[in-house]
Structure 1
């Protein structure tokens, strides 16, 4: 506990120790506030000096009265803290000690009781304060509730005011919207009054604004059919619009007719006709007057074009295009027709085509430029000028068509294709001009007619000049024809080993390749492929027929070389065309119908039995047969067969004796090995080969000599004839190589027989040339 000034002198005892320990524990468990500690300090100063308790003082006095010699000095404590008392006996001491202890306890408890009472008072004070705070909070809560109620009423009032303001604004907006919507209906009377006014015309400055307002009213009424009497107002608005569009059409027609009349008057005033004053259709009198009319109509036509997305204005715009084209056509029709007629009288078909197309292109460009002055937004649509350009281009087509039908010259027709594709359509494509696009259908139509005529004439040419060609005696005069050509070429240029072979070609070959070379760039790929297949096929057949005739007339070898020469040329010349010569032909086969009909007549089948394969549908349905024909492969096949025949014929011509000898020996040996029942044959084969009648050394030597003579005499003639027919040395080498191989192979077989069946002396008698010497000799021929 807090200090109380100078302490009293008290005996040291366990009670005091326990008292202090309790106080210390109390201090720790219930610490005092700073204010409480200050109060205790003040109290300790106040009681620092105090007298002994009254009871003790009375006891001391009684002891003295009872002659108890107990002296007591000052009742206060000394510096050492001990109480100085005179005790007479032990009982007095215990009594005094008990009183002192009781007084000390009482004094100690009094301090704490005072402290407890102080705390109790303060707790009561705090309770009073808390009660006051609770009362204050209750008042504050009540005030807050009242404030919230006032705020709620205020907000409600504000919300009601806002709603009233919004409602007022909505009503104002509704009134304005209603007024704006009613304005469209109210405009009917105003627009009708103005349109039916006698002073109203298309040239009036109020016409276009009224027309715009009328369009707005129609659009609004159309988009709001739910309004009362909207259909009635829409009908009346449309009537006014029809009247306005009719006025616009009449005005456009009037201006165009006025321009046409001015042009015609200018032509009549010049003292000449339209042709003389309109040379080239670029005379200013035809175009300048119309450009002035375009300036007059420009505001109106721009309004029409800007509204062309609407159906009514789109229709009136098309009508204006038609009126314009009619007026222009009435002015230049006769000029264009007469100009094309002049071309037709003076020029050939190719020149007429070139001049007529160039003239139409010029007219089209000028007309498109003029049209662009009237209708700038519509000029990109080439179909707008179709009513004008189609009749003009038809004049050229009608002029060219009869001439095309009667044209038989393939060269002229090919020239027409080049003119139309390269000069006319190609020029349009390079210019990328929209003004010329309107003529493209006519030019393509003319080109299609030329293609059709060219195809027909090409088929006729293939049929008459190639398939049905009748060769003359000069055409079949081989090899003399080649010799004459070679002599004439050597006289002109002796160094040249490649004479002009085109003159020595069989005419059908030359006509085939000439025709294909002309058609290759003129016809479509599919059409040309079909013609090329047909031409190559009939040309190959014609060459083969001529080869047989030459074989009968000159020699078989001449016929073979003639065929090889021309087939090689045909194969070489068609390679650059780069086309597919394979075609699939489909045919209907009815050959099975006869068998079905026989079964029906015999009662073995019924027409109405749909479940069987002999039903009516199956019986009468033809079979589709597909046949794959490759003209180029057939040509290769014919060439291969002819070359093989030539190789075998030359081989037989040179080494036929040796081949016959080897064949006989092989046949005898085979017959002997297959059976020994023929005693005569066994007796013959029992003798050595050299003792046989056909195989004696002299006979074999004679055969060898014949072969050597043929090699030295006949083979050079064959080589010379090959050079005459085949100018290409590599071709001759390829063709001679298997011939040389066959000759050497025959010698090798005979040499093998000689070595196995004959002696060295007999081999010398036979005198067969060695293979190496023979190969060297054959190599020298080429």
Structure 2
């Protein structure tokens, strides 16, 4: 048997294989297969796991013998001849043949694989060369990449440096520009100074206002940046230039205003032409229209000053321009205004003078406001700017009116003046035109205050002379005849005359009080009117009470009472519409304790110089302040109530006095019987029945009942007639008669009770014959 073939040499392990493996591994890591792809590879491996025999290795012939083994085979792949013929007779031959065949097959297989290995080796070597070239290329690429990165870094650094340089350049440029802009404010000093000191520079120059504006900007900048070097020095120099410029403006304004005033005065003299006054139309045309035209050149400068009035320097120069303007205007119009008011004072009475003078001042003030608004449009809202002009003009009217007001005594005329000033002038003209006439408001209020003061003084004088100290005439106290005559006249008079006659029937102080309060109520301040009303009501009530006492002496006490009730009711009714409190607090200084302190000091009980004790000089000489409240309305009510009660008791006594005396005696007897201190004889006398008493016999009782019945029939109707004469209001009479009726009925009830208890029915019906209570009430009701 042939020897076994030597094993094939191992495959060379080159760098290409390692790199290929590494490449494949890297490939697997960088490009992993999906699950679907891996499943496809597994399927393919299963299909090709059993390799089939090649086509050239087909079995041609196999024979077996019964007695021996003969195998005939043919294989085209064995040897270069392409066939191997063998005749196998026995087992040894078979094994030999099989061994040879196996060796041939191994040799053939190894040759094939060796050839394959050679091919693979050649290809590996080729791949190694290629990989070496790739490695070299990759090394070159990496080196090129590093160089590119270095170049990029240097380029980026260069670009960043360029950007920084550009930013720094721009910052330097901006810094230089900012520095130049800041230095421009300081550099302007020389330019502005040279322009302001130029001979041709004046306020009318077109460059004056721009230079002034630039100067203000420089001052504002230097003021806001005191940290700059020499800013204080530059600020002083700038302010000096500003003061010079503002001085030039002041001089210019004064020059133009004086020139305009001179032109107006020349025009006034030309228009007057020997006349004593200038016509009103000519006056308005000359003083206002021409002045506006003459001074128009000031408007641009004044507007510039007003636009900067928020700064202190310009506010001062603006106020100075206002003052100069008002001085020139006052110089022009004061003579004409004084002349006009003087003409009104010569021709007109006080009321018409007040109305005409105020209307003229309103017209002048309105025209002056319009002219001022033309020159100072932004300052016209501040009416105080025109005060140096309006106050002197309005003072002319005040000085004219005041002497006349001081000597005026007519309250009606003073009240009319209050209406003119408060309603017509302040309420209508001043309020309707608003701010334009606000300058007149202080003077008009001053005039109104003087009128109020004079009116208050005259009202107090009137209350004192005409009410408190009124001396009544005989006809004023001729009651009830005066009321009877008034009733006769009233039945014949018309409605107008009837209303006038109502006041004639009043007591004169009452009529004067109501008339005075009615006039003062709408003219005086509430606090002042309250004091006057309290005083007037108090004085009027006192005067009526005095008259009532005199009437009681002249006519009868009942006439005096009804007179007082009548007039107090009228007074209470008439003061009710005045919505005021009649409560007044009076404060007085009380020195009554001073004498006692001085006596103690003289006795040595206290020291004059002991400042620490209550008897010190300061405490000794300090007066006490005593406060007392007086409510005239409550006092009036109290007096009215007391008078009504007196009247009720007087009428009650007039009618049922016998009954009241009888009841009083019966009560006295019963009290005496209840007392144990009386003697036996007196008790025996008193113990007799009431009808056996001398004053209570049936005949005596019948006599007093007859007197009362006669008084009810005769006296009570006369009382009711007087009540109707004094008190025209039925409800008032009813209220006053109701307690009288109650008292009369109550007296009869008491007597009825005594009669029922002490006298028999026969005595009551046949002798006494007293009227029943129900019949009495019906009889009393018939008198109303």
Decide whether the 8 Å contact of 2:673 with 2:687 is kept in 1: no
Shift of 1:525: 0.5
* Equivalent position SS for 1:584: strand
Question: Which has the higher mean CA deviation after the structures are superposed, 230-239 or 551-560?
Answer: 230-239
TM-superposed CA distance for 1:209, in Å, is 1.7
Q: Within 5 Å, give how 1:537-556 maps onto structure 2.
A: 537-556=538-557
Task: Name the SS of the counterpart of 1:379 in structure 2.
Answer: coil
The corresponding residue for 1:741 is: 742
- State the distance in 2 between where 1:497 and 1:396 align: 44
Which residue does the alignment assign to 1:772?
Answer: 774
- Taking the aligned partners of 1:748 and 1:139, their CA distance within structure 2 comes to 154
Hey, what's the Cα distance between the residues in 1 that align with 2:169 and 2:478? 119
- Cα distance in 2, alignment partners of residues 638 and 309 from structure 1: 69
| Offset, 1:278 | 4.2
Tell me the residue number matched to 2:664: 663
Per the alignment, residue 758 of structure 2 pairs with 757
Query: CA separation in 1, counterparts of 2:279 and 2:433?
Result: 28
* C-alpha distance 506-661 of structure 1, shift in aligned 2 (>3 A): same
Number of the residue aligned with 1:175: 176
Matched with 2:573 is 572
Partner of 2:436: 435
Instruction: Report how far residue 137 of structure 1 moved.
Output: 13
**Contact 1:647/1:738, CA 8 A, preserved across alignment:** yes
1:194 equivalent in structure 2: 195
SS in structure 1 at match of 2:694: coil
Offset at 1:163? 2.2
Question: Could you give the per-residue CA deviations for residues 162-183 of structure 1, whole angstroms, max 9, x where no partner exists?
Answer: 2221211111111111212222
Q: Secondary structure at the match of 2:476?
A: coil
Question: Is the 8 Å Cα contact of residues 322 and 387 (structure 1) preserved in structure 2?
Answer: yes
Is the Cα contact below 8 Å between 1:372 and 1:379 reproduced in 2?
yes
SS at match of 2:48: helix
**Judging changes above 3 Å, is the alpha-carbon distance between structure 1 residues 751 and 628 closer, same or farther for their aligned structure 2 residues?**
same
Query: Does structure 2 retain, via aligned residues, the 8 Å contact 1:278–1:335?
Result: no
Pairwise CA distance, 1:288: 2.1
Q: If the length of structure 2 is used for normalisation, what is the TM-score?
A: 0.80
Cα distance in 2 for partners of 1:142, 1:606 equals 124
1:252 shift after superposition: 1.7
Report 1:252-651 matches (<5 A).
252-270=253-271, 272=273, 276-279=277-280, 282-492=283-493, 500-589=501-590, 603=605, 624-651=625-652
For residues 284 and 620 of structure 1, do their structure 2 counterparts lie closer, same or farther at Cα, with a shift above 3 Å needed?
closer
1:44 aligns with 2:45: no
Write the deviation string for residues 392-425 of structure 1: whole angstroms up to 9, x where unpaired: 1111111111111121111111111001001110
Match of 1:25 in 2: none
Contact 1:485–1:499 (CA under 8 A) maintained in structure 2? no
The CA deviation string for residues 632-679 of structure 1, in whole angstroms up to 9 with x for no partner, is 111111100000000000000000001111111122223323546543
Does the CA-based 8 Å contact 1:389-1:439 persist in structure 2? Answer: yes
Segment drifting more, 476-485 vs 573-582: 476-485
TM-aligned CA deviation for residue 583 of structure 1: 2.6
Given that 2:271 and 2:282 are in contact with CA atoms closer than 8 Å, whether structure 1 keeps it comes out as no
Superposition RMSD on alpha carbons, in Å? Answer: 4.1
Displacement after TM superposition at 1:452 (Å): 1.0
Deviation at 1:492, TM superposition (A): 3.5
Question: CA 1:622–1:285 in structure 2 vs 1: closer, same or farther (change >3 Å)?
Answer: closer
Report the alpha carbon displacement of residue 766 of structure 1 after superposing the two structures with TM.
Answer: 0.4
Q: Find the aligned partners of 2:715 and 2:598 in 1 and give their Cα distance.
A: 64
Cα distance between partner residues in 1 of 2:663 and 2:366: 87
| Cα displacement (A) at 1:707 | 0.4
Is 1:714 the counterpart of 2:738? The answer is no
Cα distance change, pair 139–431 in 1 and its aligned pair in 2 (3 A)? farther
- CA shift, 1:155, in A, is 4.7
Alpha-carbon distance change, 273 to 184 in structure 1, aligned in 2, over 3 angstroms:
farther
Consecutive unaligned residues in structure 2, runs of 5 or more: 1-36, 58-63, 74-123, 129-135
Q: Are the counterparts in 2 of residues 281 and 332 from structure 1 also a CA contact under 8 Å?
A: no
Structure 1: 5+ residue stretches without partners = 1-30, 52-60, 75-124, 129-134
For residues 550-578 of structure 1, the C-alpha deviation after alignment (integer angstroms, 9 at most, x for no partner) is 11221111111111011001000000111
Partner of 2:20: none
Residue pairs, 1:21-60, within 5 angstroms:
34-35=40-41, 37-46=43-52
Q: Take 2:676 and 2:138, find their aligned partners in 1: how far apart are those partners?
A: 148
The Cα shift of 1:449 comes to: 0.9
Between the aligned partners of 2:274 and 2:319, the Cα distance in structure 1 is 32
Deviations 1:280-311 (A, max 9, x none): 78431222211212322222222122122222
Q: Secondary structure at the match of 1:629?
A: strand
1:225 aligns with 2:231: no
Alpha-carbon distance, 1:225 to partner: 2.1
User: Which has the higher mean CA deviation after the structures are superposed, 490-499 or 322-331?
Assistant: 490-499
Go from structure 1 to structure 2 and tell me whether the alpha carbon gap of 1:270 and 1:578 turns closer, same or farther (over 3 Å shift): closer
- Closer/same/farther in 2, CA of residues 36 and 46 from structure 1, 3 Å limit: farther
Partners of 2:606 and 2:615 within 8 A in 1: no
Within-5 A mapping of 1:118-157: 155-157=156-158
Structure 2 CA distance for partners of 1:754 and 1:620, relative to 1, 3 Å: same
TM-superposed CA distance for 1:507, in Å, is 1.4
**Whole-angstrom CA distance in 2 between matches of 1:253 and 1:507:** 67
SS in 1 for 2:418: helix
Deviation at 1:689, TM superposition (A): 1.4
- 1:145 to partner: Cα distance: 9.2
Look up the match of 2:112. Answer: none
Residue 475 of structure 2 aligns to a residue whose secondary structure is: coil
2:477 aligns to what SS in structure 1?
Answer: coil
Q: CA deviation at 1:204?
A: 1.8
The answer (yes or no) to whether the contact 1:294–1:373 under 8 Å persists in 2 is: no
Tell me if 1:206 matches 2:207. yes
The farther-off stretch of 726-735 and 224-233 is: 224-233
Distance in 2 between residues matched to 1:678 and 1:501, nearest whole Å: 66
1:12-27 mapped onto 2 (5 Å cutoff) = none
Return the offset for 1:742: 0.8
Q: Is the 8 A contact 1:475 1:507 kept in 2?
A: yes
The count of residues paired between Structure 1 and Structure 2 equals 698
CA distance in 1, matches of 2:417, 2:423: 10
Superposed CA deviations along residues 599-655 of structure 1, whole A, max 9, x for unmatched, are 775658998595x87777777666554433221111111100000000000000000
- In 2, the alpha carbon distance for the partners of 1:173 and 1:362 equals 62
Distance 1:510 1:617 in 2: 50
**CA separation of 1:298 and 1:366: change in aligned 2, threshold 3 A:** same
